[in-house]
Chains A and B, each alone.
Chain A
Amino acid sequence: GAVVSQHPSWVICKSGTSVKIECRSLDFQATTMFWYRQFPKQSLMLMATSNEGSKATYEQGVEKDKFLINHASLTLSTLTVTSAHPEDSSFYICSARGGTGSYEQYFGPGTRLTVT
């Protein structure tokens, strides 16, 4: 099956700093990537959808200037949490979907962000 990786798997950063999370599709070209956030004991909440070479589309209530998404290639998308605060501590999960004719989404293993 298609494999999606994330890096890092966990990160601790200080309040006010920025942190970048990478999402890679390892064996297929992902024209669309999705970023989810999951707080403890809650479900996954979609943050944004990004298409390669285009600006990301953010879900209502998600600050686009705080959560910067770049999808510059067909195998890599990045999420940068800018000026992180403790309330941004969460489990961030990406998923990727292939090109024309491919509608399945494959999920990465997630990145645990802790802001101190």
Chain B
Amino acid sequence: DAKTTQPTSMDCAEGRAANLPCNHSTISGNEYVYWYRQIHSQGPQYIIHGLKNNETNEMASLIITEDRKSSTLILPHATLRDTAVYYCIVRAIFGNEKLTFGTGTRLTIIP
């Protein structure tokens, strides 16, 4: 059973910022928020992860609310190549916990 809730689909105009929300209201103190994406017929690609502070890398930014019950992945300048299914996953970083994928958000970038 997935620990996260995401919208099924979203559209975003090319060049605009894509903001993908995720609810994880039952997240535990030792669980991180991970984001992966899967472009059609490819394996998942790691994007970013965080615990409680906002994170930024070359691909995206991750904003986590203070109560950690939700987060937003931001793609600052979406391109057509960002069209993919985006998965938000919560996972304890220690131990052997597996990555469990929910249904994700299908993001379509509109030219």
Contact = CB atoms under 8 A, between A and B. Distances in A.
A107 B44 contact: yes
Contact of B101 (A32, A44, A104, A108): A44
A78 interface: no
Nearest to B2: A43
Contact of B98 (A49, A91, A106, A110): A49
A95 interface: yes
B29 interface: no
A40 B42 CA distance: 12
Interface residues of A, number: 23
Interface in A1-54: 1, 4, 6, 32, 34, 36, 43-46, 49
Nearest to A46: B98
Interface in B78-111: 87, 93-94, 96, 98-104
A112 interface: yes
Interface of A is mostly: strand
Contact of B100 (A46, A91, A112): A46
Interface size class of B (residues with CB under 8 A): 10 to 19
Contact of B94 (A32, A34, A91, A103): A103
B43 A93 contact: yes
Interface string A77-104: 0000000000000010101000000011
B42 A43 contact: no
Nearest to A9: B41
Contact of B45 (A36, A103, A107): A107
Give the 9 A-B residue pairs with the shortest CB-CB distance, closest first.
A107-B43, A44-B101, A43-B101, A107-B44, A110-B43, A109-B43, A93-B43, A103-B93, A108-B43
Interface of A: 1, 4, 6, 32, 34, 36, 43-46, 49, 91, 93, 95, 103-110, 112
Given A91-B41, A108-B43, A110-B43, 18 more contacts: A6-B43, A34-B98, A43-B87, A43-B103, A44-B38, A44-B101, A46-B98, A46-B100, A49-B98, A93-B44, A103-B93, A103-B94, A105-B46, A105-B99, A107-B44, A107-B45, A107-B46, A112-B41
